[in-house]
């Protein structure tokens, strides 16, 4: 949950900054997936990285989207509420997959970790 907690904290910080500086709002799009990336020469790539990037690409500013795998792994914890589901085409990967919007109300719950 540490990585997810960081994503939530980052989204909260950007949102708070945008409230203070309404004339120059920043809207961050976050996509999250889990898996073993391939690491080489200080870079990470592979299917898990592609899925996270595609999820981020589907998000709108101020939104966190998680893959179906992340949702499945976390739903038993009861800390993350997922809202809308979206079918997304994975350009590099074959087929379609689902991503879920993380309900912003969940963001404050996650801060306890």
pLDDT digits (tens, 9 = 90+) for 10-65: 878 888 887 888 888 888 888 888 888 898 998 888 888 888 888 888 898 888 89
Give the global pTM.
0.73
Residues 47, 36: contact at Cβ < 8 Å? no
**Residue 48: which domain range?**
2-110
Total domain count, the chain = 1
Q: Report the CATH number at residue 29.
A: 3.30.70.1230
The two tokens of residue 71 are 């949702």
Which pair of tokens denotes residue 64? 């966190």
């Amino acid at each position: 949950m540490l990585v997810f907690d960081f994503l939530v904290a980052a989204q909260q910080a950007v949102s708070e900054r945008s409230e203070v500086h309404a004339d120059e709002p920043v809207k961050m799009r976050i996509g999250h997936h889990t898996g073993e990336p391939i690491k080489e020469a200080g870079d990470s790539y592979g299917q898990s990285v592609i899925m996270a990037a595609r999820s981020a690409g589907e998000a709108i500013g101020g939104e966190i989207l998680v893959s179906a795998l992340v949702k499945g792994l976390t739903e038993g914890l009861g800390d993350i509420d997922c809202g809308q589901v979206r079918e997304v085409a994975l350009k590099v990967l074959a087929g379609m997959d689902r991503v879920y919007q993380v309900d912003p109300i969940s963001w404050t719950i996650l801060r306890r970790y």
